[in-house]
Chains A and B, each alone.
Chain A
């Protein structure tokens, strides 16, 4: 007998974030991911780097007004591109040596940037690529064959990608351009086309010691109040009682707080050892720095967050900087095409956090939810929640460790005489319990699956790393649940 295996368990979604390092599902729909700003992660070599990004908008629409045509430059007709027809665009540089086509970006002065693009010309020529208005120029030979070329440099002046004539006394030049990417990285990554918005990619980060991939990182919004955070110096910050704060840094230096609060925070070691110090204050605090205090965050956590854990490093220069929340979900026809309202099994392997608002995965509607989140109790527990926030099963004390959770629900159980609705849970290899409610099953209108957050997007982020997530459109047996969670 040949052919594919029978899908007896009705696996409908299979995401292997840690192993595959992509959002793309092995089975089922690929989640939609959004983060509205840049962010950092720990890469496979253990370095703190920016997440995948393309900081230009309209990366292949050079007619857009964001691409400014300076000193006689212009864009012409569409042409056959490197991968298919009418992808490339003719660019004409004028006779002025200042002639160029440019777009400003949000990179910071001092950032190392790689600009990549595909270029060709009917008549071979030379152009220049710059990453900032005062940055050095990379000279590019343009041939008659589409070639991905790279310009590198440190941002100086204003962050801006520039395609220039690269001559002091220029004559007009014509070349063809496709697919510009502007990224802060040591080497270029796969091109991601942008339109209205720059691309801020999902983060698959790594353990800084073992270099093992820890999965998809989903974090809450957070603001770093420190200036020049890469190597901290003495400064004054103003804090509000409305928020919780946490200071974090790498290195063996010391930060002495004085003013409305007093503390001495001694660094516990060089990277990757991170010193974390939560505190509250209301007013001006002077941070006096001695020694090596590197990659420092002083995070103002969202007012609705009770968490005092440090999140990923947020680089700053002369301002406070806010990193937006990671948002990951499956909705619309992608969701309805895989979800069984009457029975199913959710299976997630992730780290828990000390965030009282954390939600790790949940299917929800305006009337109910089912999944795993934090209990918002003291001591903080991770719970399986179903129907509403008042109906849950306690699982374990939140501990910032990795766990495997499996939840099965069905509305047609015969286990209990008076109620066919049963939710059962397995944790770390053990089927632990089941529960049933006296209220009617009311999650038959679930319309989305929120991954790493819940309730309202961005307001209950898990601060978690998800290594795998699966969904079966069938209520699995106790034995299978135990095996899945081991």
Chain B
């Protein structure tokens, strides 16, 4: 399982990215996100500061990152950093209590 916190420059960009990768459908001009399936879940956090559009995404099965998707990944649970104390590589905790980052988590 991999958690992603995605940051898009606008809602429209987020919707087009979701539609082109099968995570949303457009019916009669209205976009419907596929919030949950056997392989993923997503939550549209929405705007936080300015026009940025944030999305929580949980990959349950190892979905490949879509082409051009890397640019929207603000944080993922498989990001690692080197712990200065012991030099070991550790997973990067998700930013919390940061006013510039939405404070919404999966249960």
Which of A33-41, A281-289, A405-413 sits within the interface? A33-41
When the two chains form their complex, are residues A456 and B25 in contact, meaning their CB atoms are under 8 A apart? yes
**Given contacts A196-B61, A221-B43, A320-B103, is CB(A459)–CB(B34) below 8 Å?**
yes
Q: Could you tell me the distance between the alpha carbons of A458 and B38 in the complex, rounded to whole angstroms?
A: 10
Q: Which residue of A lies closest to B34 (CB)?
A: A456
CB-CB under 8 A from B43, the residues of chain A are: 221, 223, 322, 324
B96 at the interface (CB under 8 A from A): yes
Query: Across the interface, which residues of B come within 8 angstroms of A324, CB to CB?
Result: 35-36, 41, 43, 58, 106-107
Task: Determine if B82 is an interface residue (Cβ-Cβ < 8 Å).
Answer: no
Asked whether A221 lies within 8 Å of B25 as measured between CB atoms, the reply is no
Whether B51 sits at the interface, judged by CB under 8 Å, is: no
Closest-CB distance, B42 to chain A (whole angstroms) = 9
* A197 CB–B CB distance under 8 Å: yes
Q: Most B CB atoms within 10 A — which of A36, A106, A196, A458?
A: A36
Contact with A along B41-84 (1 / 0, CB 8 A): 10110110000000010101110000000000000000000000
Q: B37: CB under 8 A from chain A?
A: yes
A319 in the interface, Cβ–Cβ < 8 Å? yes
Give chain A interface residues in 94-121, CB to chain B under 8 Å.
Answer: 104, 106
Q: How far does the Cβ of B77 sit from chain A's closest Cβ, in whole Å?
A: 10
- Is there contact, CB below 8 Å, between B104 and A223? yes
Q: What A residues does B35 contact at CB under 8 A?
A: 220-221, 302, 324-325, 458-459
Contact check, B106 vs A459: say whether CB atoms are below 8 A apart. no
State whether A319 touches B34 (Cβ < 8 A).
no
Expressed in whole angstroms, the Cα–Cα distance for A240 and B104 within the complex equals 15
Tell me, in angstroms, the Cα distance from A196 to B58 when the chains sit together. 12
**B106 and A458 contact, CB distance less than 8 A:** no
**A367 interface residue, CB < 8 Å from B?**
no
Q: With A57-B1, A304-B32, A458-B41 as given contacts, are A34 and B107 in contact (CB-CB < 8 Å)? A: no
- The CA-CA distance from A242 to B47 in the complex, in Å, is 11
A37 touches B61 (CB 8 A): no
Is there an interface contact between B44 and A36, defined as CB atoms closer than 8 Å?
no
Known A-B contacts A223-B43, A320-B104, A320-B105; A34 and B38 likewise in contact (beta carbons under 8 Å): yes
B34 x A458 contact (CB < 8 A): yes
A286-329 residues with Cβ-Cβ distance < 8 A to B are 302-304, 314-315, 318-327, 329
B16 at the interface (CB under 8 A from A): no
Residues of A close to B104: CB separation below 8 A = 223, 319-322
Nearest-neighbor residue (CB-CB) of B38 within chain A: A34
What is the number of residues of chain B that contact chain A, defined by CB distance less than 8 Å? 28
B58 to chain A, nearest CB (A): 5
Instruction: Determine how close the nearest CB of chain B comes to the CB of A304; give it in whole angstroms.
Output: 6
Interface residues in A2-56 by Cβ distance below 8 A to B read 32, 34-39
A34–B61 Cα distance when bound, in Å, is 12
Q: Does A368 contact B (CB under 8 A)?
A: no
Contact in complex: A197, B38 (CB < 8 Å): no
What distance in Å separates the Cβ of B89 from its nearest Cβ neighbour in chain A?
A: 10
A457 within 8 A of B: yes
Residue of B46, B58, B107 with most chain A CB atoms under a 10 A cut-off: B107
Contacts of A322 in B (CB 8 A): 43, 56, 104-107
| CB <8 Å contact, B41 and A456 | no
Contact B107 A240 (CB under 8 A): no
Contacts of B61 in A (CB 8 A): 196-197
A197 touching B1, Cβ below 8 Å? yes
Given contacts A36-B58, A196-B62, contact A321 B107 (CB under 8 A): yes
Check A303 against B44 for contact (C-beta < 8 Å).
yes
Q: Find chain A residues with CB under 8 A from B41 CB.
A: 36-37, 221, 324-325, 458
A108 to chain B, nearest CB (A): 10
Residue A344 lies at the interface, judged by CB distance under 8 Å to chain B: no
Chain A residues, CB < 8 A from B91: 104
A50 to chain B, nearest CB (A): 9
Q: Is the CB of A319 within 8 A of B103?
A: yes
Given contacts A34-B60, A197-B60, A456-B25, contact A321 B36 (CB under 8 A): no
B60: chain A residues at CB < 8 Å are: 34, 36, 196-197
CA gap between A39 and B36 in the complex, in Å: 15
- Which B residue's beta carbon lies closest to that of A34? B38
Taking CB atoms and an 8 Å cut-off, the chain A residues in 318-344 that contact chain B are 318-327, 329
Interface centre among B40, B41, B47, B61 (most CB of A within 10 A): B41
- In angstroms, Cα B91 to Cα A106, docked, is 14
CA distance A315 to B107 in the complex (A): 8
User: How many angstroms between the C-alpha atoms of A388 and B62 in the bound complex?
Assistant: 34
A179 within 8 A of B: no
Chain A, 53-74, CB within 8 A of any chain B CB: 57
Output the nearest chain B residue to A329 by Cβ-Cβ distance: B38
Taking CB atoms, residues of chain B closer than 8 Å to A454 are none
A37 touches which of B32, B38, B58, B97 (Cβ 8 Å):
B58
A104, A304, A314, A457 — which one has the most chain B CB atoms within 10 A of its CB? A457
B65 to chain A, nearest CB (A): 16
For the complex of A and B, 3 pairs with smallest distance between CB atoms: A458-B36, A36-B41, A325-B36
Q: What are 14 A-B contacts with C-beta separation under 8 Å? A: A197-B60, A223-B104, A240-B46, A303-B44, A320-B103, A322-B43, A323-B106, A324-B35, A324-B41, A327-B36, A327-B38, A456-B32, A457-B37, A458-B35
Further contacts, 15 of them, CB under 8 A, given A221-B36, A304-B32, A456-B32: A32-B38, A34-B36, A36-B41, A37-B106, A38-B107, A220-B35, A302-B35, A319-B96, A322-B43, A324-B106, A325-B36, A326-B36, A458-B34, A458-B36, A458-B41
